[in-house]
Homo-oligomer: A and B are copies of this chain.
Amino acid sequence: MTSARPWIHDIVLDPPAINNNTADADRLAHALKIKLGIRPHISLALLKRLPRQLRDGGFHVRCIAFKHDDAWTLLGVTRPVDAAPAAVAVDLGTTRVVCRLVSLITGDRLHEIAFDNPQLQIGPDILERIHCADLAGGLNRLNELIVHSLNQAFERLAQACAISRADIYLISLAGNTAMTHLLLGLPPRWMIREPYIPVSNTPGFLPAADVGLDVAPAAGIRIFPNVGSYFGGDLIAGILHCGMHTAEDVTILVDVGTNAEVVVGNRHWLVACAGAAGPALEGGVTQMGMMAAPGVIDRVKIDPVSRRFFLHTIGNAPPIGICGSGLIDLAAQLFLAGMLDLRGKLSPATCGERLIAIDGMHALVVDETGKLLISQADFDSLIRSKAAMYTILETIVQTVGITFDDLATFFVGGTFGSFIRPESAIAIGMLPDLPLSTYRPLGNSSLEGATQILRSSADADQIDAIRDNITYIELNVNQDFMNRFSAAKFIPHTDADRFPTVKAVHRQT
């Protein structure tokens, strides 16, 4: 059943009479069973309010109900004239959290807010938080931080739309496995210890109150399922959003957030892996500083002849730093201008005055004030990152027995996907040399996927099947892998023929 409002059911009940005197809940459940095919579950929180709600509405009521795992749960009952019921889609990121208020009647996006994950104060990365969760009171503290901030966000969303938090009946949440565990108060201890075991990959559909979320009393929260410790619900939401699980052609989805996760496949099969699989890659694709803010350089152009720099900053403010996409642009342009060599080293011969030495290490002066420096170490780190990325991509396509050319579409998700220019990523050999039209940025695919199940029961029905259909492969960091990784640490690659468009441009310089 897919409709504009799959979770809303307006019901006109026969009022009680001496010859029709079943209980309130049984009367409503019977009417809903006729409509839904199954008697819905009605929680105690809802039962307590039901007599008042049925009578206030003259037994003409609007029911909010959600289907999960072939079972329906009643989330609330209102009068049709009451404030319109709403839902929230949550992208629970390690760094940023985005909450989007959606009308359950129209499916419209009503409002959206984003905020830093307050667990950043405990630790910027997942590992630190998991270690903290092991300390006495640590898990509780991490849990309370995120729950409290979500409640605040729900309050702000409600106020912005002149509704009440109690008008929020459904929450759809996609996050990585660790963030999901911390939200639910589940100990993540075993996720980071071999063999990397989460508490649950399928928390499913829970009472929002059990999670501490203060919305409608019988509201529910649908948690996107995880494949494993390193492939979370945010990716399942991304797959749902890009639709690769329904396509006949083989496509690939790469999401680079805190980690790099890759899934390749079509409607018949899906194979996934994640970049945190081994120590060789640790930090490999994560240290590119993605934070975008005014003054951060996000685009770079270098004239290959004059070697003059053209810098673009966010908000056109004076440059204060560089973000991931800016750094990739910079490296690509430096390489094409001959200022960065095949090994990713700054070339004294071509960098000229822009090259300085600090503590015996080369650094590049990026801006005209001379204050913004990118060290050789930063470039080395980038080269490792891009090599890791390319090696993961190469490994997964080889594993499934295809080549890059077989990919009909290359979805790039996450913050990375929104800002990166594929031509630059190709130029440094981070992404394969495919036609630019193959690349498609997905934006916040986690949030979009989470939103979809608020609007479509068909989509809601699919997410467990998507998860179950994924074959997760451990990235075996063996000699083969390390050989590929070493080959990918050149710009664009030791085998330049793999990057014909780059080879063509590079020759010209």
Taking beta carbons and an 8 Å cutoff, which residues of A are in contact with B? 16-18, 20-26, 29, 42-45, 47-48, 50-52, 71, 184-187, 189-190, 194-203, 206, 210-211, 226, 228-229, 474
Instruction: Answer whether A228 and B21 are a contact pair too, CB < 8 Å, given A26-B201, A200-B26, A203-B47.
Output: yes
| Identical chains in the assembly | 2
A24 to B187, CA, bound (A): 11
How far apart are A15's CB and chain B's nearest CB, in angstroms? 9
Beyond known contacts A21-B195, A24-B198: 19 more, CB 8 A cutoff: A16-B190, A16-B195, A16-B197, A18-B194, A21-B196, A21-B228, A22-B228, A23-B198, A23-B228, A26-B202, A29-B202, A43-B210, A44-B210, A45-B210, A47-B199, A47-B203, A48-B185, A50-B200, A71-B71
Return the contact of A17 from the options B50, B184, B187, B195 (Cβ within 8 A).
B195
16 residue pairs bridging A and B, Cβ less than 8 Å apart: A20-B195, A21-B195, A21-B229, A23-B200, A23-B201, A23-B226, A24-B197, A44-B211, A47-B184, A48-B185, A48-B199, A50-B199, A51-B189, A51-B197, A52-B187, A71-B71
A89 to B144, CA, bound (A): 37
A285 to B333, CA, bound (A): 96
Does B187 contact A51, Cβ atoms closer than 8 Å?
A: yes
Does A51 contact B195, Cβ atoms closer than 8 Å?
A: no
A393 to B48, CA, bound (A): 36
A200 to B29, CA, bound (A): 10
Residue of B nearest to A202 (CB): B26
A44 to B180, CA, bound (A): 12
Residue of B nearest to A193 (CB): B16
How far apart are A137's CB and chain B's nearest CB, in angstroms? 14
With a CB–CB cut-off of 8 A, which chain B residues contact A22? 197, 201, 228
Instruction: Answer whether A197 and B23 are a contact pair too, CB < 8 Å, given A18-B474, A474-B18.
Output: yes
Does B44 contact A206, Cβ atoms closer than 8 Å?
A: yes
Does B187 contact A25, Cβ atoms closer than 8 Å?
A: no
A43 to B201, CA, bound (A): 13
A21 to B194, CA, bound (A): 9
Residue of B nearest to A191 (CB): B23
Return the contact of A190 from the options B51, B195, B196 (Cβ within 8 A).
B51
Instruction: Answer whether A201 and B21 are a contact pair too, CB < 8 Å, given A44-B184, A51-B190, A195-B16.
Output: no
With a CB–CB cut-off of 8 A, which chain B residues contact A50? 199-200
